[in-house]
Amino acid sequence: MEIIRAKHMGFCFGVAGAIDICQKVINDKNNYNRNIYILGMLVHNEHVVKKLEEQGFKTVKEEEILQGKDNLNKNDIVIIRAHGTSEKIFEILKEKQVEIYDATCVFVTHIRKTLVEMEKKGYDILFIGDKNHPEVKGIISFGKNVTVCNDLEELLKVEIDKNKKYCLLTQTTLNKKKLEKIKSYLENNFQNVKILDKICGATQVRQEAVEELAKKVDMLIVIGGKTSSNTKKLYDISSNFNPNTYLIQDENDLNIEWFRGMNKIGITAGASTPEEIVIKIENQIRGIH
Ligand code: SF4
């Protein structure tokens, strides 16, 4: 039995950067005795979040802030998660005079800025992504004329006015192949849509690597949080090429039955999955055989 890791997997620099900010904040002596909050899940991985809570971080949810049900006080610290938040939340936090540490990934910030700039130039925005995902909710909150579509099917229902200018932007973790279909539809039917591909590099290389690996192994294990969008995409891509694909959060989710008759086991992990979880899983798999 052989375990083969995907060429690119695990922590991306956006997640690593967010965790780094948290560590700097908690280790700073000036912050002793201050309440330190993280807005929502810093990254979409329960293990990472739990570890931060054990270090003393508290979680505050966006809904609590919006409904005035939070316990934030002046001079508390609030760290904004890697996938950002909405304009309204930033406004409220400033009003409350808390100290904000913005751990929003540069890729997400860049999309947000592009959206605002393109609207100023007169473009309506077509945004491809999951409208329920915090990243998408946060980015589009900075716009005024934004239509969000999850996929080509939804985009086909949008009435695109040939007399207007449109700009197409995407969620950072969008599946590259999904975008290619959308691009080809728009390029073949409309001259007035400017397409700006905003899938982040870390997502893209992880998606390509899992496709390559899924084709050459007997089974593939995707490790990541249940709410992680990029992990789910890795699972979807692998499933397309290898029916023996399983998504697990940690070693407790492994099922010995999956491994019967399997020789080559592929492994990948979402961008917010810590290396220590991957190692525990690899060790457990070695124990099965
Ligand atoms: S997946 Fe991409 S956009 Fe998201 S945090 Fe990582 S580098 Fe940033």
Domains of the chain: 2-11+202-288 (3.40.1010.20), 13-104 (3.40.50.11270), 107-199 (3.40.1010.20)
Cβ 202 under 6 angstroms from ligand 1: yes
Give residue-wise pLDDT tens across range 229-269: 899 999 999 999 999 999 999 999 999 999 999 999 999 99
Q: By mean pLDDT, which of 8-12, 148-152, 200-204 is the weakest?
A: 200-204
DSSP state of 68: T
pLDDT > 70: percent of the chain: 100
Q: What is the pLDDT of residue 289?
A: 59
Give yes or no for a contact between 128 and 150, defined as CB atoms under 8 angstroms apart: yes
Give yes or no for a contact between 5 and 264, defined as CB atoms under 8 angstroms apart: no
Average pLDDT of every residue of the chain: 95
Mean pLDDT, residues 49-74 taken together: 95
Count H helices and E strands in the chain, helices first: 11, 12
Give residue-wise pLDDT tens across range 66-122: 999 999 999 999 999 999 999 999 999 999 999 999 999 999 999 999 999 999 999
pTM for the whole thing? 0.87
Nearest CA owner, ligand 1 atom 8: 14
Ligand 1 atom closest to 172 (CA):
3
Residue of 87, 91, 135, 187 with catalytic role: 135
pLDDT > 90: percent of the chain: 88
Cβ 143 under 6 angstroms from ligand 1: no
Residue ranges in 174-251 assigned as alpha helix (H): 176-189, 201-214, 229-241
Cβ 82 under 6 angstroms from ligand 1: yes
- If you measure from the C-alpha of residue 172 to the centroid of ligand 1, how many angstroms do you get, rounded to a whole number? 7
| Residue whose structure tokens are 């899983």 | 281
- If you measure from the C-alpha of residue 232 to the centroid of ligand 1, how many angstroms do you get, rounded to a whole number? 14
Residue 23 has pLDDT above 90, yes or no: yes
Cβ 271 under 6 angstroms from ligand 1: yes
d(C-alpha 21, C-alpha 16), whole Å = 9
Q: Is 5 helix (H, G, I), strand (E, B) or coil?
A: strand
Cβ 11 under 6 angstroms from ligand 1: no
Q: Residue 136: in which H helix or E strand, if any?
A: helix 134-140
- Quick one: which of 242, 236, 239, 247 has its CA closest to 273? 247
Residue 278 has pLDDT above 90, yes or no: yes
Give yes or no for a contact between 244 and 258, defined as CB atoms under 8 angstroms apart: yes
- If you measure from the C-alpha of residue 269 to the centroid of ligand 1, how many angstroms do you get, rounded to a whole number? 14
- If you measure from the C-alpha of residue 246 to the centroid of ligand 1, how many angstroms do you get, rounded to a whole number? 23
Residues in Cβ contact with 123 at an 8 Å cutoff, skipping those fewer than 6 apart: 165, 166, 167, 194
Catalytic, 135? Answer yes
Give residue-wise pLDDT tens across range 115-161: 999 999 999 999 999 999 999 999 999 999 999 999 999 999 999 99
pLDDT bucket at 206, cuts 50 / 70 / 90:
very high
Residues in Cβ contact with 127 at an 8 Å cutoff, skipping those fewer than 6 apart: 115, 136, 139, 140, 146, 147, 148, 149, 168, 169, 170, 171
